[in-house]
């Protein structure tokens, strides 16, 4: 039976399209190619791909669904792959202080349906020894179990690898990260949109600090004192060694004052922009997130006191050669995004 081009959608189900359906698409395309004698249409002009995608919807699940539909990492998943979801569980406080259980259920469910083994992990603030308790309180652990994912606390009972000292010059002493960052087929970073009373904001770049062994984080000269002259470069060091395959910043709800936890000392303000940010590039993802915060946070928040690409965290990451995006190459796409023009303007400033 001859397959008509119009039958493509009926022959490929959603799972095939999201879980490595490229080969199937190519096969069908070859079978429907017109003969060489047919006149050729002019070659279309190549349009540069956006390096950040914004998704927006009226419900959290719908917004996440749109973001996952645009997630290239899903198309590369093969049965038997191991995927690490690096969540944000600095505390046991619920979303947007921590990664949303809805994100874990929807993303983890798609990965499970592709035949992947999913690992959900983090380590809370180095002074808090109860990461597992926090993962239960904020709902992440229950959501992970719902999709048959393994829940891991990055503590002593897992395997660690030591980063060569030359690669982490701004840290004191040894620096260890979970072996998962090397053994897993993909690492997907799942931060939230939050202000931060020390670093002005915390999103894709800063979320990787949860991978560092708590003893190494707590060592004097590292994160125990949060040296403002070093912390941005320390964040850059870890990001240069741990390259996540994709970053999904959940801004459906956002903490626009008082971040990153209710214990930060300032009054917390939570709003609902309804936006999910997706990018392979952590600088691009954070630039969009900073721009979003700059449209929402009051002038009393430090994140509003810098132009986006003058933010010390982005500057340190750029200086370290992380990512491939800058203010002149940032490209944001998204449909039906509130205040999109202003976000684009601020993200490129």
Tally of domains in the chain: 1
Question: What whole-number distance in Å separates Cα of residue 8 and Cα of residue 12?
Answer: 6
Is 150 within the bounds of a domain? yes
User: Taking the model in full, what pTM does it have?
Assistant: 0.88
Is 324 within the bounds of a domain? yes
Question: What whole-number distance in Å separates Cα of residue 192 and Cα of residue 241?
Answer: 22
Is 38 within the bounds of a domain? no
Is 147 within the bounds of a domain? yes
Q: How far is residue 130 from each of residues 125, 135, 168, 234, measured CA to CA in Å?
A: 9, 9, 27, 24
Q: Which domain does 267 fall in, by range?
A: 48-347
82 forms bridges with which residues in the sheet?
A: 117
The answer to whether the CB of 245 falls within 8 A of the CB of 187 is yes
Look up tokens 């004698």; give the residue. Answer: 37
Per-residue pLDDT of the chain (349 residues; tens, 9 = 90+): 444 434 434 334 545 545 765 434 333 333 333 333 444 444 444 444 679 999 999 999 999 999 999 988 788 899 999 999 999 999 999 999 999 999 999 999 999 999 999 999 999 988 899 999 999 999 999 999 999 999 999 998 999 999 999 999 999 999 999 999 999 999 999 999 999 999 999 999 999 999 999 999 999 889 877 777 899 999 999 999 999 999 999 999 999 999 998 876 778 999 999 999 999 999 999 999 999 999 999 999 999 999 999 999 999 999 999 999 999 999 999 989 999 999 999 999 9
Is 181 within the bounds of a domain? yes
- What is the Cβ-side half-sphere exposure of residue 43, based on CA atoms within 13 angstroms? 3
Is 37 within the bounds of a domain? no
Task: Please calculate the CA angle 68-69-72 and round it to the nearest 5 degrees.
Answer: 80
User: At 272, which CATH number?
Assistant: 3.40.50
Look up tokens 């060592």; give the residue. Answer: 219
Question: What whole-number distance in Å separates Cα of residue 323 and Cα of residue 97?
Answer: 26
Is 34 within the bounds of a domain? no
């Amino acid at each position: 039976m001859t397959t008509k081009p119009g039958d493509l959608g009926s022959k490929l189900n959603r799972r095939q399209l999201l879980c490595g359906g490229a080969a199937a698409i190519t096969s069908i395309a070859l079978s429907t190619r017109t003969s060489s004698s047919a006149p050729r249409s002019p070659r279309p002009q190549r349009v540069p791909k956006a390096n950040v995608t914004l998704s927006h919807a009226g419900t959290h699940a719908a917004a996440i669904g749109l973001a996952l539909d645009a997630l290239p990492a899903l198309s590369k998943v093969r049965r038997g792959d191991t995927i690490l979801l690096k969540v944000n569980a600095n505390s046991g406080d619920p979303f947007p202080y921590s990664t949303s259980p809805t994100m874990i259920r929807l993303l983890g469910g798609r990965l499970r349906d592709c035949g992947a083994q999913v690992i959900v992990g983090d380590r809370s603030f180095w002074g808090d020894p109860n990461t597992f308790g926090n993962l239960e309180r904020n709902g992440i652990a229950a959501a992970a179990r719902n999709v048959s994912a393994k829940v891991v606390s990055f503590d002593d009972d897992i395997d660690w690898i030591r980063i060569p000292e030359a690669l982490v010059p701004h840290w004191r002493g040894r620096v260890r990260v979970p072996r998962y960052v090397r053994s897993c087929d993909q690492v997907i970073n799942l931060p939230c949109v939050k202000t931060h009373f020390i670093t002005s904001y915390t999103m894709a770049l800063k979320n990787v600090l949860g991978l560092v062994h708590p003893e190494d984080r707590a060592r004097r000269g590292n994160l125990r004192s949060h040296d403002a002259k070093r912390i941005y470069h320390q964040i850059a060091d870890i990001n240069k060694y741990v390259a996540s395959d994709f970053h999904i910043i959940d801004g459906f709800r956002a903490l626009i004052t008082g971040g990153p936890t209710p214990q930060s000392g300032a009054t917390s303000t939570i709003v609902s922009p309804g936006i999910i940010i997706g990018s392979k590039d952590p600088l691009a993802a954070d630039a969009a997130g900073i721009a979003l915060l700059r449209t929402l946070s009051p002038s009393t928040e430090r994140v509003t006191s810098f132009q986006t690409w003058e933010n010390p965290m982005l500057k340190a990451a750029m200086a370290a050669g992380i990512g491939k995006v800058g203010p002149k190459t940032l490209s944001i796409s998204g449909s039906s995004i509130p205040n999109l023009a202003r976000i684009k303007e601020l993200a490129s400033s």
